[in-house]
Amino acid sequence: MTLSELNSFPQDQFTQALATIFEHSPWIPNRAWRKRPFATLDKLHQAMVDEVDRATTNEQLQLLRAHPDLGARARMSQESTTEQTRAGLSSLTPNQYERLQTLNTQYRATFDFPFILAVKGATYQTIIEALTQRITHSREDELKEALNQVSKIARFRLNDHIKE
């Protein structure tokens, strides 16, 4: 689909076309629709990120909680499954899987949302390093960082779905 085609869609079709850009959060493209037309993918992305920034803290937390734990062998969106597979998280050894799940559990207990990392280009080792470092953040700093990672993931997904 092209950006021009997307710009021409009515709100429901626009929302449906972008429903997977932010994990299980179609409210974001639904709200951004009113800012059409978008001249570039950057403008579209920024409009959606602006909606996340304007959202209530509760809405932001719901967005974060919609993401699966990294390496979890649970039901995930197709996009998350593909992204995690490319990062090697579907082929972890039992010890690696256990370590990742232990850190995920500690992180979630600390912040009350899952650890989120844009894993494109990441490896198991870089994921573990980021998780170990970020678990020491304050809740306020980590909320900002998690939303920043969601924004990066959304940009990667836009690149995969829309042609300028």
Report the mean per-residue pLDDT for the chain.
93
Contact 23, 80 (CB under 8 A): yes
Strands (E), the chain: none
- Which residues does the annotation mark as catalytic? 67
pLDDT in tens, 23-35: 999 999 999 999 9
Give me the percent of the chain exceeding a pLDDT of 70: 97
pLDDT level of residue 137 (50, 70, 90 thresholds)? very high
Torsion angle of alpha carbons 145, 147, 153, 154, nearest 10°? -150
CB atoms within 10 A of CB 19: 17
Domains annotated on the chain, with CATH: 3-161 (1.10.3330.10)
Ramachandran region, residue 80 (left: φ > 0; alpha: ψ -120 to 50; beta: rest)? alpha
Spatial separation of the C-alpha atoms in residues 96 and 74, rounded to whole Å:
17
pLDDT in tens, 40-99: 999 999 999 999 999 999 999 999 999 988 887 655 577 876 777 787 788 888 999 999
Q: What are phi and psi of 120, to 5 degrees?
A: -60, 120
pLDDT at 92: 86
pLDDT level of residue 38 (50, 70, 90 thresholds)? very high
